[in-house]
Amino acid sequence: MDTTAINHQHEKTENSLFGFWVYLMTDLIMFAALFAAYAVLHNNTFGGPASGQLFNLPFVLAETVILLTSSFSCGLAYLVMQRGEVKKVLSWFTVTFLLGLSFLFMELTEFRRLYASGSGPQHSAFLTSYFTLVGAHGLHIAAGLLWMAVMLLVVRKRGLAPKTNSQLARLALFWHFLDLVWIFIFTIVYLMGVL
Amino acid sequence: MNILFGNLTWSSLPHEWFTIAGTATIIGGGAFMAGILTYFKRWKWLWNGWLTSTDPKKIGIMYLIVASLMLFRGAVDAAMIWLQQSIAEGPHAGYLTPAHFQQIFTAHGDIMVFFATMGLLFGLINLIVPLQIGARDLAFPFMNSLGFWLYVAGAIMINMFFIFGGEFASAGWLSLPPLAEIAYSPGVGVDYWIWSLQISGLGTLIGGINFIVTILKMRAPGMKLMDMPMFTWTSLCSMLLVVSVFPILTVVITLLWLDRYFGLHFFTATAGGNPMMYVNLIWMWGHPEVYILILPTFGIYSEIVSTFAQKKLFGYTSQVLAAFGVTALACLVWLHHFFTMGAGADVNAFFGIMTGIIAIPTAVQFFNWISTLYKGKIRFATPLYWFMGFLACFTFGGMAGVLLSLPAADYQLHNSLFLVAHFHTMIVSGALFGIFAGITYWFPKIFGFRLNESLGRKAFWFWLFGFLLSFGPLYLLGFLGATRRLDHYNVPGWQPLFIAAGLGLALIGIGALFQVAQIIVSIRDREKNRDTSGDPWNGRTLEWSTASPPPFYNFAVVPTVTGRDAWWENKQKMRDARTGRGQEYQNIEMPKNTAMAIYLSAFAFLASFAFVWHIVWMQIFGLAGVIVCIIIRSLDENTEYTVTAQELEKFEKSPARYL
C-alpha cells in the first residue's frame, strides 16, 4: 500500500467510528422514548400487580453484576487487541460472550417467571412498557452476541487486520453502551420500582 | 389462520374499482417497463449502471425519479379529494364512500411527506452536497445505496394494499390511536402504514448519519465550517434533526405495532394505555419533520439568490445561526399540534411562545435574502421566479402560522381547513417550490444541459396562481367553520369555495404538464442547450468548478479551499481554477457497485409484508435474510477499486454523458 492508500484506510476507520457514535446517539434516543413511555405508564397497573410486588431485586442485582463484568472483560479484550495479541483477544471476547449469554438467559428466565405468574405484557399498560423497555435492551444484547460470535470467527480466521480491529472497536463501544443503558434500567425500573 | 399464507385469503385480492385500477396500473406499468427494457436490451445497463451503483449522483437521480412518481401518485389522491368535496354537498353524496375517502386523505398525506418531498430532497442532497464540499463520495457509499433501496421498499409497500388487502389506513396521516388500534381498525391498512413508514424511516435515519459524517469529516482541504455553502449547512441542520427525531418515529410506530400485533396496551383505550402519549411522541418527530423538509430548501434559496444577484449572500453568519435557531426551536414546539389536549395554560403558553419565536430566525433568513437581492446585478431566470413566489406565499402562510400559535385562537381553528391551508402553504411554497427551483438550477450540472426557460416560467405562473386559487378558499372555509377531512357537508354557501379550490388544482395540473413538456423539450433540444463550461449560471460554489455532468469521481484533483464561495473567489483571481487542470493526478480509491443493498431491502420488504399478514415463516425468512446480508457485506474485503492516474487522465479528456 502506498501512502495515499494508507491515509484512505485511516480516514475510513475514523469515519466509521464517528458514524458509529452518531448511530449510538440515535439508539440512545430510541431508549429515551422507551424510558419516557415507561415513565408515563408505570403506574397504570389496571388493578394488576405493581413493580414493587413483581421484581426480585437480588436476582436482578446478579444480572447487573454479570453484565458489568462482561463490560470489564470486553474492555480487556480491547486492550489486548491494541497490542495485537490474537489469542488473548479471542479468550477475552469468549469470556464476554459467555457472560452476555448468561445475562440474556437470566433475563429470559425472569420474563418467563412473570409470564407464568399471569403478569404478561398484555396484562396492563405498566407491564406492556416494562416488557418492551427491558426486552428492547435484551434484543440489543442478543444482536451484540451475534455480532461477537461472528467477530470471534473472523479473528480466528483472519487475525487482526486493520478492518477487523476497527469493527472490534465498534463492537466494544456497542457493548459498553448497552451496559450504560442497563444501569439506567436497573436504577429506574428496578431500584426505584422496588425501594 | 393459515400457516402458509397467514391472514391472506382470496378475498384479499382486488375486487373494488380503485384496487383493480391500482393493481392494473402497477402491473401494467411494470410490464410496460419490462417490455421496453427487454426490447432495447437494457437490463444489464440498468442493473450495472444504475440500480447497483453506489455513486451518490446516480442514487440522487434515482431518488428524483421515484419521488416524482410518488408526487404524481399523491397528486391523484389530492384530485380525488377535491372532486369529492366539490360535489358532496347537501343531497349529493359524492362519488366516494366515506371509508374510501378516509383512506385517500391518509394516503395523500403520507405519500406527499414521506415519499414525494423527502425523496426529492434526498435526491438533491445526494446530487449536490458531495460536490459542494469537494468530496468524491459519501462517507458510507453502501449505506447510501441501502438508504435509497429501503426508501424504495417503503414506497412499494405503501402501494401494496392495491394488490393484497384492498384497504389502506384510514386513521389520518399519523394514524392516531385509539382509532388506529386493532379494536377500531381491524384491517391491514394500518399495518401497511406501519411497515411502509418503518422501513423507509430506517432508510432516512441511516441517510442522516451518512450525511452528517460526510459533511463534518470529508470536506475539501481548507474548507472550514464557516466556509461551507448554505445548502450544505442547511442540509447538515436537516440531517441533525433526522438523527434526533427519526428514532422517536421508529419507536412510536413499533409500539403501535406491538399493540396491534401482540395485544399490548401502550395506546389502547383500555388496560391503562395512554393514547395521548402517542400523540406527544409522534409530534416530537412530526414537527421537526416539517423543518427537515423546509431547511434544505432554505439552503437552495440562499444559493439561488446569491447566484442570480451575482453577489455574496448578505449576512452569511446570521444565516447560519438562523438555520441553527430553527433547528433547535423545531424540537421545542411539538405540543402546538394539540393545544386542545388541555395540558393547561402554562404548558400551552410555553409552546405557544416557542412557536411564535421560530418566526424570528425565519425572518432573519428572509431579510438576508432580500438584502442580497438589493443592489445586486439580478438576472431573472426560472429559479428566481420560484424564489419570488415562495417569498410571497411563505410570508403569508407564516403569518397564518403565528396566528395558529396563539392557543386561544388555535382552539377555534384546530382541525379546521384554515390549518390545512396553512401547512400546505408552508410545504408547497417552502419545500416544493424550493425543490423545483433547485432542480431547475442544478439541472445543467446533473444532466449536462439546461432546461427550457420559457416553459419553466409558464409552469411557474400556473403553479403560483393555481396554488393561490386552491388554498386561498381554504383559509376562508376554515374561518367559516369547515373542518378538515370532510367527505360531505350541508352548507350550500361552502360549495363555490370548494369548487374554486378544485379549479385551482386544475391550474396546478396545467403547470405540472408544462413541467413535463419542459423536460421533454429540453431533452429534444439538448445539443443546443449543452453546458460545456460546467458553470452555466456564473456560479459561486464548488459544484460549478467541475464538468457537467461531473465525472463519477467528481474531482480529478480535490480542490483546496481558501474561503467562502470558493469557486467565485478563484474566478475573481483569474486563476485557471478548473480543478485538476495542470496538476498531477494521483491514484484514487472508489467504491465498487454492490447489489447487496437491493437484496437486503428485498428481505426487509418480505419480512414487513409477512408482519402485515401474520405469515410467520416468511417473517423468519425475511429477518434471517437481512442478518445474513449484513454479515456477508461486513466481511467483504473487496468493496473498493483503484482508478489509476493514467485512467483519470483519460476520463478527464472524454467527459461523461447521460443523454
CA A99 to CA A78: how far, in whole Å?
Answer: 16
Mean pLDDT for chain A?
93
B411 vs A3 pLDDT, higher one? B411
CA A8 to CA B303: how far, in whole Å?
Answer: 31
pLDDT of residue B17: 87
User: A122 contacts in B (CB within 8 Å)?
Assistant: 262-265, 271
Count the residues in chain B.
659
CA distance B217 to chain A (A): 7
pLDDT of residue A1 exceeding 50: no
Which of A4, A20, A30, A150 to substitute to test the interface with B, most B CBs within 10 Å? A30
Q: Bridge-partner residues for B588, per DSSP?
A: B643
Contact (CB<8Å) A146/B218: no
Contact (CB<8Å) B251/A34: yes
pLDDT mean over A37-63: 92
CA distance B358 to chain A (A): 24
pLDDT, tens only, B146-165: 999 999 999 999 999 999 98
Burial B432-453 (b: 16+ CB within 10 A, else e): bbbbbbbbbbbbbbbbbbbbbb
pLDDT, tens only, B168-182: 999 999 999 999 999
pLDDT, tens only, A105-116: 999 999 999 999
B575 vs B288 pLDDT, higher one? B288
Residues 6+ apart with CB under 8 A from B543: B128, B131, B132, B442, B445, B550
Q: What is the ipTM of this complex?
A: 0.96
B275 touches A: beta carbon within 8 Å? no
pLDDT, tens only, A18-29: 999 999 999 999
Element (H, E) at B640: strand B640-643
Number of domains into which chain A is organized: 1
**pTM to 2 decimals?**
0.96
pLDDT of residue B589 exceeding 60: yes
Q: What is the DSSP string of B43-55?
A: HHIIIIIIIT---
Nearest 5°: phi and psi at B612? -60, -40
Contact (CB<8Å) B250/A30: yes
pLDDT band at B563 (very low <50, low <70, confident <90, very high): confident
Nearest 5°: phi and psi at B484? -75, 165
User: In terms of CA atoms, which chain B residue is nearest residue A32?
Assistant: B248
User: A5 contacts in B (CB within 8 Å)?
Assistant: 587, 589
C-alpha cell, A176: 459498553
pLDDT band at B651 (very low <50, low <70, confident <90, very high): confident
User: A21 contacts in B (CB within 8 Å)?
Assistant: none
Say what percent of chain B tops pLDDT 70. Answer: 98
Lowest mean pLDDT among A174-178, B1-5, B411-415: B1-5
pLDDT of residue B581 exceeding 60: no
The residue range of the domain holding A170 is 3-194
CA B151 to CA B200: how far, in whole Å?
Answer: 4
Which of B181, B217, B251 to substitute to test the interface with A, most A CBs within 10 Å? B251
pLDDT of residue A57 exceeding 90: yes
Q: What is the DSSP string of B120-144?
A: HHHHHHHHHHHHHTT-SS-S-HHHH
Q: State the CATH number of the domain containing residue A182.
A: 1.20.120.80
Contact (CB<8Å) B209/A23: yes
pLDDT of residue B576: 55
pLDDT mean over B451-467: 96
pLDDT of residue B531: 87
pLDDT mean over A56-71: 96
Which amino acid would we find at residue B502? G
Q: Which residues of A fall below an 8 Å CB-CB distance to B? A: 2, 4-5, 8, 11, 14-16, 18-19, 22-23, 25-27, 29-30, 33-34, 36-37, 40-41, 44-46, 121-126, 128-129, 131-132, 146, 150, 154, 163, 167
CA B619 to CA B610: how far, in whole Å?
Answer: 5
